[in-house]
Structure 1
Amino acid sequence: MAARDLTGAVDFTVLETMTGGADDITEEVLGLFTQQAALWSSLLDASSEGWRDAVHTIRGASAGVGAKDLAAVCAEVEHGEQASALAGLERVRTALDAALADVAAYRHELALRGLKG
């Protein structure tokens, strides 16, 4: 993956502003986001009592890294009806996958920058 693979699912200027452009801190935050996404994904099940909590957590974290579309989808689904949870959670999964793909490409670029010194 490389910068050319970025889709715009994440606006990394949001995170860069928060971290002051420090690549090591940016990498750490993105690494935590990626690790936590694996945990949250298992709770994105309409039959699970905790799905709203998972969506709420993803919403906050995604806003912090600049994944505005993911945060918006989460906000909508979090407050939606239980009857529409199945379809809503599929939308969250799709948006999360897009954000994670951008995060992977961006982290790759950070790694390359680190090698170049």
Structure 2
Amino acid sequence: MALRDLTGAVDFSVLEATTDGDDAISDEVLGLFGQQASLWSPMLDVRNEGWRDAVHTLRGAALGIGATALAQACQAAEAADKALAPPLLERVHDALSIALADVAAWRHELMLRSLRG
């Protein structure tokens, strides 16, 4: 992964503003985002009673790192009736996958920066 692999799904200027440009803190926040994604993504199914909690939590995490499209997908799914939610949850899954790819590329860049000193 490299910066050239970024899709634009995450506006990392949001994260940098939050962390005041501190690469170590940015990396930690992105690691936490990945952990949140791992915890909550299995619940993104209407057969799971906690699916609304999952999209709500992911929405907040997405906004914190600048993943606006993911946050919007989460908001739409959270607001939907259960019967209409399955395709919206698929959009959340798709947006999450794209955001996680951007996060991986950004974390790779942060790691390279730390090696350069």
TM range (shorter): over 0.9
1:67 is aligned to 67
- Choose 2-11 or 36-45, whichever is displaced more: 36-45
Q: Can you list the C-alpha shifts for 1:15-46, whole angstroms capped at 9, x where unaligned?
A: 00000000000000000100110111111111
- Supply the AA of the counterpart residue of 1:28: E
TM-score (norm 2): 0.98
Q: List gaps (5 residues or longer) in structure 2.
A: none
Give the match's secondary structure for 1:72. helix
TM-score (norm 1): 0.98
2:45 is aligned to 45
Deviating beyond 2 angstroms after TM superposition, the runs of 4 or more aligned structure 1 residues are none
Give the match's secondary structure for 2:21. coil
- Supply the AA of the counterpart residue of 2:3: A
Q: Can you list the C-alpha shifts for 1:39-83, whole angstroms capped at 9, x where unaligned?
A: 111111110110000000000000000000000111111001111
Cα RMSD of the aligned pairs, angstroms, is: 0.5
Q: Distance in 2 between matches of 1:70 and 1:64?
A: 11
- Choose 61-70 or 78-87, whichever is displaced more: 78-87
Please say if 1:102 is aligned against 2:102: yes
Q: List gaps (5 residues or longer) in structure 1.
A: none
1:23 is aligned to 23
Identical positions, percent: 63
- Supply the AA of the counterpart residue of 1:74: C
Number of residue-to-residue matches in the alignment: 117
Q: Distance in 2 between matches of 1:20 and 1:67?
A: 18
